[in-house]
Amino acid sequence: MSIKKIIAFGSAKGGVGKSSITASIALSLSKHKRVGILDADIYGPNQNILFNISSKNKITNNLIQPAEVKNIKVISMGNILNYDEAAIWRGPMLSGAIKKLIHKSNWGKLDYLLIDMPPGTGDPYLTIFKELDVNEFILISTPNGLAISDSQKTISLLKKLNVNILGYIHNNIFNNNDFNMDFFNINDIKHLGTYIFDKNLHNFNCEYYSKVSNQISKIILSDV
């Protein structure tokens, strides 16, 4: 596995748009770089749906072969289990599944591996940061007070694990005055970009989503 840089996208709060933003930024980066996505949300994988990947991953020489869509390599539990099958696993099995996706996937050579993190701050985080040398973390939040509160939990965990926070992204903002930035300013976290709410944003590749993702990608590419 030859990967130049690993960036995780996450928040302790679910439903803040981690998967869509990860996918959109991957599309932007893939115009210039070799990119892969690890969908680490074992219980609720979405990358297979966002990229419309219906076939299961092939196994060659005991390695999982990523699906390749739009020049992006994608590994998701959604393409390993049956479409309507739930992963009803306790902590050790969950950690084992994540380790398998990390070490038994044929990523080849990548410039960037983006990790779509699950919600929470438990076993998946501990496993991923133990098994992979994650270079940066991008925090995603919405104006919802619960999401901001849970962001503090994520920040506390990342500090304990000595993971560098590249910055944060506002998502589902109704207008530019809709988000209180004081919380992130106090924590000295850089603002990377804002996605204004739009009823068409269910399509993560819409023109506006791509425009903002291109701006954030430039920041990522310049962070060497």
CATH of the domain at 189: 3.40.50.300
State pLDDT tens for residues 111-159. Answer: 999 999 998 878 889 999 999 999 999 999 877 777 777 788 889 899 9
Pairing state of beta strands 63-64 and 59-60? antiparallel
Structure tokens at 197: 């709410």
- Let me know: does 51 contact 79? Beta carbons within 8 Å: no
Is 17:172 a contact under the CB 8 Å cutoff? Answer: yes
Q: How many of the other CB atoms lie within 10 Å of CB of 221? A: 15
- CA torsion 127→168→142→9, rounded to 10°? -30
- How far is 57 from 164, CA to CA, in rounded Å? 32
Rounded mean pLDDT of the chain?
Answer: 84
CA dihedral 213, 216, 217, 220 (to 10 degrees): -150
Residue 166's domain comprises: 2-222
How many other CB atoms are there within 10 angstroms of residue 39's CB atom? 28
DSSP state of 213: H
Q: What is the pLDDT of residue 64?
A: 92
Domain count, the chain: 1
Structure tokens given for 217: 């990608």
The pLDDT, as a whole number, for residue 15 is 75
